[in-house]
Amino acid sequence: METALPINRSENSQSNAGSIVKTILKVVQLVFLGTTFALAPSELAAQGLTVVPVGIAGLNNNTIHSYVSRDTGLFRKYGIDARLVVFQAGSLLAQASMAGEVKISMVAGPVTIASRAAGSDSIIIGALINTLPYKMVVAKGITRSDQLKGKRIGISRFGSSTDTAVRLFLAKFALNADKDVVLVQAGEQANRFAALAGGTIDATIVGVPLDITAQKQGFPVLADLAANKLSQAGGDECNPPSRVQSS
């Protein structure tokens, strides 16, 4: 069985990790400021729109379709005024869904399956991706997968898609996530990258654009999970199923 992976190398940069993360957070804040202007309730009623809280598992390239659907009017086309709510991890979003705080969730398939096992009546109404669009970024000096043994690997939360992805990656190379490494709950990918840059963790998985930022700062990309054919379904969850109507 394989025990090591070659890394992708790129030119190093002396950019400060903290400043990069701060820049990303400022962009996120601007996004939120740009979405705070909504129609008044009376105007919504006049248009026949129903306000629906839509939960999103983290701010990353995997969830951009939610913003595209809102900004291009696709939700409104079907009578929905979508109020996007961002959660730090899919497992936290699942809890909010079970509590009825959100009615539609943009979350990975395994999270919904775990929710169903816990008694939720949520159903999956569509899958938007069928792969794990992450890259395993590691501390400088790590060049092979077997060197992850005994190391601290950052995920968002236990039970989230990042948790599932890391476990699948480790299993592919005969590493046990519960015995061979220490999984650290570090929040969404901006926080995980900051933890890696600060030395709190030794590895984590991130997507665009932080994988590019990591390489520019000299952090090796140990593996591309999608290229290694590690897959899972990521889609839209609807809760409860009575809200889904066929046409």
The answer to whether residue 6 sits within a structural domain is no
The answer to whether residue 3 sits within a structural domain is no
The runs of H, that is alpha helices, within the chain are 17-34, 41-47, 64-71, 74-77, 90-98, 109-117, 161-172, 189-197, 210-216
The answer to whether residue 207 sits within a structural domain is yes
Tell which wins on pLDDT, 222 or 97: 222
Token pair listed for 147: 């060197």
Can you tell me the mean pLDDT for 155-172? 88
Question: Minimum mean pLDDT among 127-131, 170-174, 191-195, 237-241: which range?
Answer: 237-241
Q: Is the pLDDT of residue 2 over 70?
A: no
The answer to whether residue 87 sits within a structural domain is yes
Based on the fold, state whether residues 112 and 142 are members of the same structural domain: no
Q: Which residue has the tokens 């395993």?
A: 136
CATH of the domain at 147: 3.40.190.10
Tell which wins on pLDDT, 231 or 208: 208
Q: Which pTM value belongs to this model?
A: 0.60
pLDDT of amino acid 39? 42
Q: Helices 90-98 and 109-117 sit at what angle, rounded to 10 degrees?
A: 40
Number of domains in the chain: 2
Report whether 159 contacts 94 (CB < 8 A).
yes
Of the chain, the percentage scoring pLDDT greater than 70 comes to: 68
pLDDT of amino acid 3? 43
Stretch (H or E) spanning 137 = strand 135-138
Based on the fold, state whether residues 69 and 146 are members of the same structural domain: no
Mean pLDDT of the chain: 76
Tell which wins on pLDDT, 10 or 172: 172
Question: Minimum mean pLDDT among 29-38, 140-149, 199-208: which range?
Answer: 29-38
The answer to whether residue 79 sits within a structural domain is yes
Question: What is the 8-class DSSP label of residue 8?
Answer: B
The CA–CA distances, whole Å, from 51 to 25, 86, 137, 170, 236 equal: 27, 16, 39, 42, 17
Based on the fold, state whether residues 175 and 238 are members of the same structural domain: no
pLDDT of amino acid 213? 92
Based on the fold, state whether residues 120 and 141 are members of the same structural domain: no
pLDDT of amino acid 239? 55
The answer to whether residue 84 sits within a structural domain is yes
Host domain of residue 76? 38-130+234-243
Token pair listed for 218: 């000299």
- Residue-wise pLDDT for 176-228, tens only, equals 999 999 999 998 888 999 999 999 999 999 988 888 999 999 999 999 988 87
- Residue-wise pLDDT for 37-95, tens only, equals 444 444 544 468 889 888 887 676 667 778 888 899 998 998 989 998 888 777 777 77
Q: Is the pLDDT of residue 243 over 50?
A: no
Tell me how far apart the alpha carbons of residues 99 and 17 are, in angstroms, rounded to a whole number.
Answer: 37
Tell which wins on pLDDT, 24 or 198: 198
